[in-house]
């Protein structure tokens, strides 16, 4: 399985997990069969909140699932339309997040668990 995790600084399995999909500077993509990790730049990092294009952010790289702390509704729906499952995980590092996934300790997200913004009256459910 190919897993994508937004990270704030790429350091392989030790990469710190970024709190929100769309604003992550880059992603760690892990093949869970080999535990090979590759860096992928977020090609849509500087988008207006609510206008994330998740498949553009992934630049055509094939992934099966995304592990996140937070994500906007549009990005969630875009990933799901692309056949990618999205799960919430609270982890400090990529290695820890993958371990939670492989142990079945992640929550699949639906639209009710998405971020509605980061303003004063927001409905953000992000795990920062």
Domains along the chain?
2-113 (3.30.420.130)
In this structure, are residues 55 and 86 in contact, taking their beta carbons and an 8 Å threshold?
Answer: no
Q: What is the pLDDT of residue 72?
A: 82
* Helix, strand, coil share of the chain (percent; to 5): 20, 25, 55
The pTM is what? 0.82
Tokens of 67: 């592990």
User: Mean pLDDT per 10-residue run, the chain (128 residues)?
Assistant: 95 93 88 95 58 62 91 86 92 97 92 54 43
Question: 88 has which bridge partners?
Answer: 68, 107
Element (H, E) at 93: none
């Amino acid at each position: 399985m190919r897993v994508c995790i937004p990270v704030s600084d790429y350091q392989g399995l030790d990469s710190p997990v970024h709190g929100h999909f769309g604003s992550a500077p880059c992603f760690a993509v892990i093949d869970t069969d080999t535990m090979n990790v590759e860096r992928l730049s977020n090609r849509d990092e500087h988008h207006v909140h609510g206008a994330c294009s998740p498949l553009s952010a992934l630049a055509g790289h094939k992934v099966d699932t995304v592990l996140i702390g937070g994500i906007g509704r549009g990005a969630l729906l875009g990933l799901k339309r692309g056949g990618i499952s999205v799960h919430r995980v609270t982890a400090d590092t990529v290695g820890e997040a993958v371990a939670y996934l492989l142990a079945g300790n992640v929550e699949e997200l639906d639209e009710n668990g998405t971020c509605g913004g980061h303003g004063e009256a927001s409905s953000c459910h992000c795990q920062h």
